[in-house]
Amino acid sequence: MTQEANLKTRKILLVIGDAAEVTDTLYPWMRLQEDDYQVVLAAPEVRVYSLVQHEQPQSWDITQESPGYHLHSDIAFRDIKPEEYAGLLVSGGRAPEYIRYDECLIHAVRWLVDAGRPVGSICHGIEVLATAGVIKGKRITTVAKCRFDAEVCGATYLDAPVVVDGNIITARGARDGWQWMREYLKALKQMKNDKFTKQ
Protein backbone atom coordinates (compact mmCIF):
# COMPACT_ATOMS: atom_id res chain seq x y z
CA MET A 1 0.00 0.00 0.00
CA THR A 2 1.39 3.42 -0.92
CA GLN A 3 1.80 6.29 1.51
CA GLU A 4 -0.94 8.18 -0.33
CA ALA A 5 -3.34 5.27 0.12
CA ASN A 6 -2.35 5.00 3.80
CA LEU A 7 -3.27 8.63 4.38
CA LYS A 8 -6.76 7.96 3.05
CA THR A 9 -7.48 4.87 5.14
CA ARG A 10 -10.61 5.04 7.31
CA LYS A 11 -10.13 1.70 9.04
CA ILE A 12 -9.51 1.40 12.78
CA LEU A 13 -8.69 -1.82 14.62
CA LEU A 14 -10.62 -2.33 17.86
CA VAL A 15 -9.02 -5.14 19.84
CA ILE A 16 -11.26 -7.44 21.90
CA GLY A 17 -11.43 -10.91 23.41
CA ASP A 18 -13.67 -12.81 25.79
CA ALA A 19 -14.40 -10.67 28.87
CA ALA A 20 -13.71 -7.36 27.13
CA GLU A 21 -15.67 -4.67 28.99
CA VAL A 22 -18.99 -3.66 27.42
CA THR A 23 -18.75 0.14 27.64
CA ASP A 24 -15.01 0.22 26.85
CA THR A 25 -15.83 -1.66 23.65
CA LEU A 26 -19.21 -0.48 22.43
CA TYR A 27 -18.69 3.24 22.95
CA PRO A 28 -15.60 3.56 20.69
CA TRP A 29 -17.13 1.08 18.23
CA MET A 30 -20.17 3.34 17.80
CA ARG A 31 -18.41 6.71 18.16
CA LEU A 32 -15.85 6.06 15.43
CA GLN A 33 -18.54 4.88 13.03
CA GLU A 34 -20.38 8.16 13.64
CA ASP A 35 -17.34 9.87 12.12
CA ASP A 36 -17.41 7.50 9.13
CA TYR A 37 -14.54 5.26 10.20
CA GLN A 38 -14.77 1.55 9.52
CA VAL A 39 -14.18 -0.21 12.83
CA VAL A 40 -12.68 -3.67 12.43
CA LEU A 41 -13.07 -5.91 15.49
CA ALA A 42 -9.85 -7.89 15.93
CA ALA A 43 -9.61 -10.90 18.24
CA PRO A 44 -7.72 -14.19 18.64
CA GLU A 45 -10.11 -15.88 16.19
CA VAL A 46 -13.10 -14.92 14.05
CA ARG A 47 -16.04 -15.92 16.25
CA VAL A 48 -18.55 -14.57 18.78
CA TYR A 49 -17.04 -13.07 21.93
CA SER A 50 -18.74 -12.54 25.29
CA LEU A 51 -18.40 -9.04 26.71
CA VAL A 52 -18.75 -8.32 30.42
CA GLN A 53 -19.92 -5.42 32.55
CA HIS A 54 -17.74 -4.18 35.40
CA GLU A 55 -19.26 -2.24 38.27
CA GLN A 56 -18.06 -1.52 41.79
CA PRO A 57 -20.80 -2.07 44.38
CA GLN A 58 -20.87 0.48 47.22
CA SER A 59 -19.53 -1.89 49.84
CA TRP A 60 -16.86 -3.49 47.60
CA ASP A 61 -13.20 -2.61 47.16
CA ILE A 62 -13.04 -4.36 43.77
CA THR A 63 -15.24 -4.55 40.69
CA GLN A 64 -18.06 -7.02 40.23
CA GLU A 65 -18.33 -8.71 36.83
CA SER A 66 -21.58 -9.65 35.12
CA PRO A 67 -22.41 -10.90 31.60
CA GLY A 68 -22.84 -8.31 28.86
CA TYR A 69 -23.50 -8.30 25.13
CA HIS A 70 -21.93 -10.51 22.47
CA LEU A 71 -19.88 -9.32 19.51
CA HIS A 72 -18.63 -11.18 16.46
CA SER A 73 -15.05 -10.34 15.53
CA ASP A 74 -14.14 -9.42 11.96
CA ILE A 75 -10.53 -10.54 11.82
CA ALA A 76 -8.08 -12.81 13.67
CA PHE A 77 -4.90 -11.24 15.00
CA ARG A 78 -2.76 -13.37 12.66
CA ASP A 79 -4.49 -11.85 9.62
CA ILE A 80 -3.93 -8.19 10.54
CA LYS A 81 -1.97 -6.15 8.00
CA PRO A 82 -1.21 -3.09 10.13
CA GLU A 83 -0.38 -0.85 7.16
CA GLU A 84 -4.06 -1.00 6.15
CA TYR A 85 -5.22 0.79 9.33
CA ALA A 86 -5.27 4.39 10.47
CA GLY A 87 -5.01 3.36 14.12
CA LEU A 88 -5.75 0.85 16.86
CA LEU A 89 -7.66 0.78 20.13
CA VAL A 90 -7.46 -1.79 22.93
CA SER A 91 -10.61 -2.29 24.98
CA GLY A 92 -10.55 -2.90 28.72
CA GLY A 93 -11.94 -5.70 30.85
CA ARG A 94 -10.11 -8.97 31.50
CA ALA A 95 -9.41 -9.76 27.83
CA PRO A 96 -6.04 -7.95 27.80
CA GLU A 97 -4.75 -10.38 30.45
CA TYR A 98 -4.55 -13.14 27.84
CA ILE A 99 -4.54 -11.46 24.43
CA ARG A 100 -1.32 -9.61 25.36
CA TYR A 101 0.56 -12.85 24.75
CA ASP A 102 -0.47 -13.01 21.08
CA GLU A 103 2.65 -12.25 19.01
CA CYS A 104 0.64 -11.13 15.95
CA LEU A 105 -1.27 -8.57 18.00
CA ILE A 106 1.94 -7.31 19.61
CA HIS A 107 3.54 -6.95 16.16
CA ALA A 108 0.57 -4.88 14.94
CA VAL A 109 0.69 -2.59 18.00
CA ARG A 110 4.43 -1.98 17.58
CA TRP A 111 4.09 -1.35 13.83
CA LEU A 112 1.31 1.19 14.26
CA VAL A 113 3.05 3.04 17.09
CA ASP A 114 6.30 3.17 15.09
CA ALA A 115 4.35 4.43 12.07
CA GLY A 116 3.02 7.36 14.10
CA ARG A 117 -0.60 6.26 13.93
CA PRO A 118 -2.91 6.80 16.92
CA VAL A 119 -2.89 3.86 19.33
CA GLY A 120 -5.12 3.94 22.38
CA SER A 121 -6.03 1.87 25.40
CA ILE A 122 -8.58 2.12 28.16
CA CYS A 123 -8.55 0.50 31.59
CA HIS A 124 -6.80 -2.92 31.45
CA GLY A 125 -5.99 -2.36 27.77
CA ILE A 126 -2.71 -0.83 28.96
CA GLU A 127 -1.52 -4.41 29.57
CA VAL A 128 -1.31 -4.93 25.81
CA LEU A 129 0.64 -1.71 25.22
CA ALA A 130 2.93 -2.54 28.13
CA THR A 131 3.66 -6.01 26.75
CA ALA A 132 4.39 -4.49 23.34
CA GLY A 133 7.00 -2.26 24.96
CA VAL A 134 5.59 0.94 23.46
CA ILE A 135 4.96 2.91 26.68
CA LYS A 136 8.53 3.07 28.01
CA GLY A 137 9.30 6.72 28.72
CA LYS A 138 5.67 7.71 28.05
CA ARG A 139 3.07 9.33 30.29
CA ILE A 140 -0.05 7.19 30.51
CA THR A 141 -3.19 6.61 32.52
CA THR A 142 -5.13 3.47 33.29
CA VAL A 143 -7.32 2.03 36.00
CA ALA A 144 -5.39 2.36 39.28
CA LYS A 145 -4.93 -1.40 39.74
CA CYS A 146 -2.96 -1.54 36.46
CA ARG A 147 -0.56 1.20 37.53
CA PHE A 148 2.11 -1.39 38.34
CA ASP A 149 1.85 -2.95 34.86
CA ALA A 150 2.60 0.43 33.32
CA GLU A 151 5.33 1.55 35.70
CA VAL A 152 7.24 -1.74 35.64
CA CYS A 153 7.38 -1.34 31.84
CA GLY A 154 8.89 2.13 32.12
CA ALA A 155 5.87 4.44 31.86
CA THR A 156 4.90 7.34 34.13
CA TYR A 157 1.42 6.85 35.56
CA LEU A 158 -0.91 9.86 35.89
CA ASP A 159 -4.26 9.70 37.68
CA ALA A 160 -6.15 11.60 34.98
CA PRO A 161 -9.19 10.76 32.84
CA VAL A 162 -7.15 10.80 29.61
CA VAL A 163 -3.45 11.22 28.84
CA VAL A 164 -2.03 11.95 25.39
CA ASP A 165 1.70 11.39 24.84
CA GLY A 166 2.64 11.56 21.18
CA ASN A 167 0.45 9.10 19.29
CA ILE A 168 -0.49 7.09 22.40
CA ILE A 169 -3.85 8.02 23.92
CA THR A 170 -4.83 6.31 27.18
CA ALA A 171 -7.88 6.50 29.44
CA ARG A 172 -8.67 5.31 32.97
CA GLY A 173 -12.02 3.60 32.50
CA ALA A 174 -15.51 3.50 31.03
CA ARG A 175 -16.68 6.83 32.49
CA ASP A 176 -13.79 8.54 30.73
CA GLY A 177 -14.63 7.06 27.34
CA TRP A 178 -16.10 10.24 25.87
CA GLN A 179 -12.91 12.19 26.63
CA TRP A 180 -10.82 9.32 25.30
CA MET A 181 -12.66 9.33 21.98
CA ARG A 182 -12.51 13.13 21.75
CA GLU A 183 -8.71 13.02 21.96
CA TYR A 184 -8.42 9.97 19.72
CA LEU A 185 -10.46 11.59 16.97
CA LYS A 186 -8.30 14.72 17.25
CA ALA A 187 -5.23 12.53 16.73
CA LEU A 188 -6.77 10.88 13.66
CA LYS A 189 -7.56 14.27 12.14
CA GLN A 190 -4.06 15.54 12.87
CA MET A 191 -2.56 12.45 11.28
CA LYS A 192 -4.12 13.36 7.94
CA ASN A 193 -1.89 16.44 7.88
CA ASP A 194 1.29 14.60 8.84
CA LYS A 195 3.44 12.11 6.95
CA PHE A 196 3.73 8.59 8.29
CA THR A 197 7.21 7.53 9.29
CA LYS A 198 6.64 4.03 7.98
CA GLN A 199 4.97 2.78 4.77
CB atoms within 10 A of CB 115: 20
* CB 122 within 8 Å of CB 24: yes
The DSSP code sequence of 96-165 is: HHHHTT-HHHHHHHHHHHHTT--EEEEGGGHHHHHHHT--TT-EE---GGGHHHHHHTTPEE--SSEEEE
Contacts of 60 (CB under 8 A, 6+ apart): none
Residue 107 is among the residues annotated as catalytic for this protein: no
Catalytic residue among 54, 70, 72, 124: 124
Residue from 89, 78, 107 nearest 40 by CA: 89
Q: Which residues does the annotation mark as catalytic?
A: 124
